[in-house]
Amino acid sequence: MSPKSVKAKIGPSVLNADLSQLYTESQRLMDCGADYLHLDVMDGNFVPNLTFGHPVVKCLRNKITDAFFETHMMVDKPEMWIEGMADARVDQYTFHTEPVSDVLGVCRKVKEAGMKVGLAIKPKTPVETLVKYMDQADLILIMTVEPGFGGQKFMADMMPKVKWLRENYPGMDIEVDGGVGPSTIQACAEAGANMIVAGTAVVQSDNPQNVIETLRSTVAGAIVKCAS
């Protein structure tokens, strides 16, 4: 870990929240100490589920003006939604590399649209496939479940990917997503993840503030330990 350049940040996913109350739920998570919001966009093709797209994200942005928005694009054609998400004032556009033939081209368009670039890979995708894109990425998302649904079991066998990334790209923001909560955060922190997406563990807790704080302090502790 490169403690000077990476920070522990917690980005709750609203996927398993009451989506009829998207604004209230999102604001509640920010009020509970979230560092950013992780918004799961699914197209029913790349994953067997559907959520929402840029019109909904724009409505949310009009109500929550000051939070950092990351959209996790679980879609076959991420190039299609860049303009809409930029117009919705999304901060970080994280897309899966698997279905994309011109990853560098999509990275360029995301940057030109004024957003940060996140590159995501599914559990079966080798981490080394990302090497040729690392110069263009602001964040790497290592999925710790098969994308598509919240509430799945954390895949601890993804931690070597995180560790490899941290060793080879010490200053990179490395995010984990899927089954992350108080019982699995230690493994993520020790491997070197600094950006933590947590859905069910936060949204369905009686004390989301406490869960967010536990996740952040565990990751921050690992960063400090690495520095000493």
Ligand X SMILES: O=C(CO)[C@@H](O)[C@H](O)COP(=O)(O)O
- 197 near ligand X, rule: CB under 6 A: yes
Q: Is 151 annotated as a binding residue?
A: yes
Q: What residues from 1 to 30 belong to the interface with ligand X (CB under 6 A)? A: 13, 15-16
CA angle 199, 202, 203 (to 5 degrees): 75
Burial (CB count within 10 angstroms: exposed 0-12, middle 13-18, buried 19+), residue 220:
middle
Q: Which of 35, 138, 177, 206 is catalytic?
A: 177
Name which of 16 and 117 has its Cβ closer to ligand X: 16
177 tagged catalytic:
yes
Cβ-Cβ contacts under 8 Å for 228 (sequence gap 6 or more): none
Smallest distance, ligand X to C-beta of residue 200, A: 3
Q: What residues from 34 to 53 belong to the interface with ligand X (CB under 6 A)? A: 38, 40
Smallest distance, ligand X to C-beta of residue 157, A: 16
Name which of 2 and 204 has its Cβ closer to ligand X: 204
Q: In terms of Cα–Cα distance, which of 80, 74, 94, 86 is closest to 141?
A: 94
**Residue window 96-115: x/- pattern of binding to ligand X, with contact defined by CB under 6 A:** --------------------
Element (H, E) at 25: helix 22-31
Smallest distance, ligand X to C-beta of residue 23, A: 18
Smallest distance, ligand X to C-beta of residue 154, A: 8
110: Cα within 13 Å, side-chain hemisphere:
26
CA–CA distances in Å: residue 195 to residues 28, 49, 112: 20, 24, 24
- Which tokens is 127 given? 């981490």
- Catalytic residue list: 40, 177
Footprint on this chain of ligand X (rule: CB under 6 A): 13, 15-16, 38, 40, 72, 145, 147-152, 177-180, 197-201
